């Protein structure tokens, strides 16, 4: 896979597929981590005299313009980070994009409007997707893939466009792939995996792979309750995927056969209703044993004994991969479990990888120093699919 150091970019129009898919509250960015992650690649291209055209998706608009998903706030924030004016095209392949990109001089940057305002970006029809990629290719001379959070998508700007232009991986993607290889090829042991998040179905494929590679798997978050149900415990009104209970039973049995520690919560914080995440009003949770959740209560975080247990299981790790919060970390009453796992990673001497998505957002929201972790991924889904052993379309397109 070529990197941007292999490209002659001075005076060239360089199309950078970034991941500026940041959370917004109206037009206010609530977490700019993904913008800051790609900024060094863009800055390097600027320093080398490229005319940089940045493109990304944001949210899930339905193939047509939607002001709620405009990239204008992200473009403005990118300009602040780079310390220079960043032009913004109000469309992707229309008059504004053509005018803005044609007007760039060496070292200038422009951001195109949301790629997903065009149906061709996400189309499952190869011809429709290819036609959109042709229009994007007309804007540029070179392609740099640096949106790791999107490389598991077979989308026009990720998969089809690099086939139409000389291409290379940006520094962010090169770093992400290097880190993930450390989790799959030459792992320092004990190898401990901490998995959380809402749905166990989102993690089944990666659990299937990790049972073959990890020494310990710690489970928290909403997905833990399906595993607890599989062990015959009452889970009350907690998040539950009843149809996944047989799969959970199978993985628990496989882990035991292979000698992999599969660790579930021993206590949880419960309440009668989900907390208000806007007002963050006090929720007054109770703590109960994980095998004694009342029928009218919902588990919303791992309890204090589980936090101590998980910290102990992480203490001697050589490598840690963490993907998914341990509870509803957005509310202060249910942030303790996620905070405890993050702190345990910092306290260990392991090579630590935070697997993107909500875990990365939690690290920032809870006030941890991002640089203290070995690596914080910008792509939760992409990281998981890489660890599952899947071929990621965006990486495959950059490798040829």
State which H helix or E strand residue 271 sits in.
strand 267-271
Is 60 annotated for ligand binding?
Answer: yes
Closest CA relative to residue 184, chosen from 385, 339, 362, 398:
385
The token pair at 385 is: 């699919």
Strand 24-25 relative to strand 28-29, pairing: antiparallel
Is 19 annotated for ligand binding?
Answer: yes
Strand 267-271 relative to strand 298-302, pairing: antiparallel
Catalytic residues: 34, 199, 357, 381
Is 57 annotated for ligand binding?
Answer: yes
Is 336 annotated for ligand binding?
Answer: no
Is 44 annotated for ligand binding?
Answer: no
Is 21 annotated for ligand binding?
Answer: yes
What is the C-alpha to C-alpha distance for residues 125 and 135, in angstroms, rounded to an integer? 16
Is 78 annotated for ligand binding?
Answer: no
Is 359 annotated for ligand binding?
Answer: yes
Is 152 annotated for ligand binding?
Answer: no
Q: Is the CA virtual torsion 169, 354, 368, 201 positive or negative?
A: positive
Residue 98: CB partners within 8 Å, gap ≥ 6? 139
Query: Residues of 49-70 as b/e, b for ≥16 C-beta within 10 angstroms?
Result: ebbbbbbbbbeebeeeeeeebb
What is the C-alpha to C-alpha distance for residues 58 and 21, in angstroms, rounded to an integer? 4
State which H helix or E strand residue 280 sits in.
none
State which H helix or E strand residue 301 sits in.
strand 298-302
Q: Please name the residue that has the structure tokens 């697997």.
A: 355
Is 20 annotated for ligand binding?
Answer: yes
Is 167 annotated for ligand binding?
Answer: no
Q: In a 3-state reduction of DSSP, which class is residue 87?
A: strand
Is 284 annotated for ligand binding?
Answer: no
Is 371 annotated for ligand binding?
Answer: no
The one-character DSSP state at 158 is: I
Residue list for the binding site for ATP:
203, 299, 330, 356-359
**Per the annotation, where are the binding residues for (2R)-3-phosphoglycerate?**
34, 116, 153
- Binding-site residue numbers for substrate are 19-21, 34, 57-60, 116, 153
**Annotated binding residues, as ranges?**
19-21, 34, 57-60, 116, 153, 203, 299, 330, 356-359
């Amino acid at each position: 896979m070529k990197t941007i150091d292999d490209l002659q970019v001075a005076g060239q129009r360089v199309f950078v597929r970034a991941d500026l898919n940041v959370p917004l509250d109206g037009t206010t960015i609530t977490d700019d981590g993904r913008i800051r992650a790609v900024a060094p690649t863009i800055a390097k291209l600027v320093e080398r005299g490229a005319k940089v055209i940045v493109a990304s998706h944001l949210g899930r608009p339905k193939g047509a313009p939607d002001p709620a998903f405009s990239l204008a706030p992200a473009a403005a924030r990118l300009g602040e980070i780079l310390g220079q004016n960043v032009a913004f095209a109000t469309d992707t392949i229309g008059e504004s994009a053509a005018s803005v990109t044609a007007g760039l001089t060496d070292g200038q940057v422009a951001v195109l409007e949301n790629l997903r305002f065009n149906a061709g970006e996400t189309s499952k029809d190869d011809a429709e997707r290819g036609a959109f990629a042709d229009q994007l290719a007309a804007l540029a001379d070179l392609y740099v893939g640096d949106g790791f959070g999107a490389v598991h998508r077979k989308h026009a700007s990720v998969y089809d466009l690099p086939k139409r232009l000389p291409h290379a991986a940006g520094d962010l993607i090169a770093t992400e792939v290097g880190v993930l290889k450390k989790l799959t090829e030459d792992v320092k042991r004990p190898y401990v995996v901490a998995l959380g998040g809402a749905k166990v179905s989102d993690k089944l494929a990666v659990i299937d792979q990790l049972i073959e590679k990890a020494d310990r798997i710690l489970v928290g978050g909403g997905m833990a309750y399906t595993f607890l149900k599989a062990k015959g415990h009452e889970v009350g009104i907690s998040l539950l995927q009843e149809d996944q209970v047989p799969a959970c039973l199978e993985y628990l049995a496989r882990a035991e056969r292979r000698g992999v520690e599969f660790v579930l919560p021993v206590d949880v914080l419960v309440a009668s209703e989900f907390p208000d995440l806007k007002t963050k009003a006090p929720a007054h949770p109770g703590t109960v044993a994980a095998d004694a959740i009342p029928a009218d209560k919902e588990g919303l975080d791992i309890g204090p004994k589980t936090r101590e247990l998980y910290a102990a299981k992480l203490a001697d790790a050589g490598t840690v991969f963490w993907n998914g919060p341990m509870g509803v970390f957005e509310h202060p009453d249910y942030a303790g479990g996620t905070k405890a796992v993050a702190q345990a990673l910092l306290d260990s001497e392991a090579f630590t990888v935070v697997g993107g998505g909500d875990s990365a957002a939690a690290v920032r929201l809870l006030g941890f120093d991002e640089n203290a972790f070995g690596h914080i991924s910008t792509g939760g889904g992409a990281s998981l699919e890489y660890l599952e052993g899947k071929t990621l379309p965006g990486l495959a397109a950059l490798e040829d």
